[in-house]
Chain A
């Protein structure tokens, strides 16, 4: 779907590019982005607090969808503002959770 650079397989979990790809697909659905626009998200792309439509309910739904797609449980105290503020933060959360799963 998106133009990802191929990352080496991570022995502790799915290859990073796969997590990255799935997370971009979730954000594409949540924010109503085109595939091209979703592919352009960078680690610095602002999310919660930067996009007016991304309110607390939308973020909560986003985290719940991540739990479903990655088959993980995200505890409430594991989520802090840094995870939600940028795409890079959210990706770090997804990577950490899938690696520890």
Chain B
């Protein structure tokens, strides 16, 4: 049996006005219905990677193409994470939507912060910037305390804004840190609706300490999306 998806490259805008090649996982049979999936940020991208691909497999079976792009500084990207900004990631998500001809968008968790305007779709369990940072700064407080060199939230935040900071192993530059502090999920116009976790049921996979997978949740989310995208096919 062949793998139904491929890894391809796509031109992602870079800060210097050039483009750089980034990878994307695509289910592409040149169909009319095409979904851009914007992954969560940081650790949740890893935790939910398999779940997202399982959702995409189900959509493929339902006649929908989908693409999961690497953001610069993430996964196979050769760009430095510490140099990435929220604006750059937003530009990347918009460019990916354009390049792959997306008709719809699904953002997952913090990916909602990057959702391009003008496409209908879904925010799945969206999370805003302050909430993402709060937990990551807390992780650093816990680990520095454990290591015997405790830092306060104020110290970590000041460092984050001035020179950037490593939170739970993720190098976050000053611009990204500062914008995350006030980053809100964009307004849901243009036919974008929220899918909260309670709608799907089961255990929230982002809470799991290790990556996990839930077939029933993937079925439920894919069903919601494929029914709504039926008109395009």
Residues of A near any B CB (own CB < 8 A) = 26, 28-32, 48-49, 51, 53-65, 76, 79, 81, 84
Whether A56 contacts B140 in the complex (CB less than 8 A), given A28-B203, A29-B203, A64-B135, comes out as yes
Please determine whether A56 and B204 come into contact, CB atoms closer than 8 angstroms: no
Encoded as 1 (CB less than 8 Å from any A CB) or 0, chain B from 111 to 138 comes to 0000000000000000000010011101
Whether A58 contacts B138 in the complex (CB less than 8 A), given A64-B131, A76-B152, A76-B153, comes out as no
Chain B residues whose C-beta falls within 8 Å of the C-beta of A32 in the assembled complex: 203, 208-210, 212
Most buried by B among A32, A57, A60: A57
Please determine whether A57 and B203 come into contact, CB atoms closer than 8 angstroms: no
Encoded as 1 (CB less than 8 Å from any A CB) or 0, chain B from 126 to 158 comes to 000001001110111111011000001100000
Instruction: Decide if the interface of chain A is mainly helix, strand, loop or mixed.
Output: helix
Which single member of B139, B204, B206, B208 contacts A60 (CB below 8 Å)? Answer: B139
Instruction: Decide if the interface of chain B is mainly helix, strand, loop or mixed.
Output: helix
User: B1 at interface (Cβ–Cβ under 8 A)?
Assistant: no
Q: Give the contacts of B180-224 with A (CB-CB under 8 A).
A: 203-204, 206-210, 212
Encoded as 1 (CB less than 8 Å from any A CB) or 0, chain B from 150 to 170 comes to 001100000000000000110
User: B32 at interface (Cβ–Cβ under 8 A)?
Assistant: no
Whether A57 contacts B139 in the complex (CB less than 8 A), given A76-B152, A76-B153, comes out as yes
Complex Cα distance, B47 from A29, in Å, reads 13
Complex Cα distance, B110 from A61, in Å, reads 14
Which single member of B142, B146, B207 contacts A26 (CB below 8 Å)? Answer: B207
Q: Closest CB of chain A to B176's CB: distance in Å?
A: 17
Complex Cα distance, B169 from A93, in Å, reads 27
Which single member of B143, B152, B210, B212 contacts A56 (CB below 8 Å)? Answer: B143
Size category of the B interface is: 20 to 34
B134 to A, closest residue via Cβ = A64
Chain B residues whose C-beta falls within 8 Å of the C-beta of A30 in the assembled complex: 207-209
Chain B residues whose C-beta falls within 8 Å of the C-beta of A63 in the assembled complex: 135, 138
Q: Closest CB of chain B to A31's CB: distance in Å?
A: 6
Complex Cα distance, B212 from A84, in Å, reads 23
Chain A residues whose C-beta falls within 8 Å of the C-beta of B203 in the assembled complex: 28-29, 32
User: B43 at interface (Cβ–Cβ under 8 A)?
Assistant: yes
Complex Cα distance, B127 from A64, in Å, reads 12
In the complex, 17 of the A-B residue pairs with CB atoms within 8 angstroms, ordered by the A residue number, are A29-B204, A29-B208, A31-B209, A32-B208, A51-B209, A53-B210, A55-B139, A56-B142, A59-B139, A60-B135, A60-B141, A60-B168, A63-B138, A64-B134, A64-B138, A79-B142, A81-B145
Whether A55 contacts B209 in the complex (CB less than 8 A), given A64-B131, A76-B138, comes out as yes
Q: Closest CB of chain A to B152's CB: distance in Å?
A: 7
Complex Cα distance, B207 from A80, in Å, reads 21
Q: Closest CB of chain B to A60's CB: distance in Å?
A: 4
Whether A56 contacts B209 in the complex (CB less than 8 A), given A28-B203, A64-B131, A81-B146, comes out as no
Chain B residues whose C-beta falls within 8 Å of the C-beta of A65 in the assembled complex: 207
Complex Cα distance, B216 from A93, in Å, reads 34
